[in-house]
Amino acid sequence: MAEDATVRHPGQVPEQTSRVEIKTNLRPEFVEEKLARPEAIPFFELPAKMRAAWSFGLNANGFGMQFHSLIALPVLLVAMTLIAATVSMRFARLGQSVTMILSGVVAGFLLYVMSVLVKAFGTAGIVPPVVAAWIPVVVAMFFGVTFLLYREDG
């Protein structure tokens, strides 16, 4: 619907009108799915949004990536705690505080960059959203456990 519009037909003089309505098959749900940001949708509504997007023929990777990222988040936080534990071990005994702090900052930065990069791949559809959400978690968990065992035993 438009107000104060000018209607133009081929071969005719343009006419001013106060209101114009255009018939369309576009449903409000379609527009909502197309314009919705996955981060703004509550967790429990994401599966329904994914199904609705698929039914409209839209790409639902963003919704799937957000859903699986939220599921993987608690395990990612555990992995980050393991990395923090490895960085803080033998902190006072070795006297290498600068090295330990820098290694912790670098490990956190690399985990963040990898998470953002893989999330972008998952949203774009290059990697399935389930795989993209769990790759940073698995890598961080393996890194944390391996380094923790190495520090404890070696």
For 17-36, how does the pLDDT look when each residue is reduced to its tens digit (9 = 90+)? 888 777 777 666 666 666 67
CB 104 within 8 A of CB 87: yes
Residue 91 in this model has a pLDDT that exceeds 80: no
Q: Residues 6 or more apart from 36 whose CB is under 8 A from it?
A: 49
Please compute, for residue 38, the number of CA atoms within 13 A of its CA located in the half-sphere on the CB side. Answer: 21
Q: What is the pLDDT of residue 30?
A: 62
Residue 48 in this model has a pLDDT that exceeds 70: yes
What element of type H or E holds 89?
Answer: none
What share of residues in the chain are helix, strand, coil (percent, to 5)? 70, 10, 20
Q: In terms of DSSP bridges, do strands 15-20 and 2-7 run parallel, antiparallel, or are they unpaired?
A: antiparallel
Q: Is the pTM of this model over 0.75?
A: no
Query: 90 is written with which tokens?
Result: 């033998």
Q: What is the pLDDT of residue 31?
A: 63
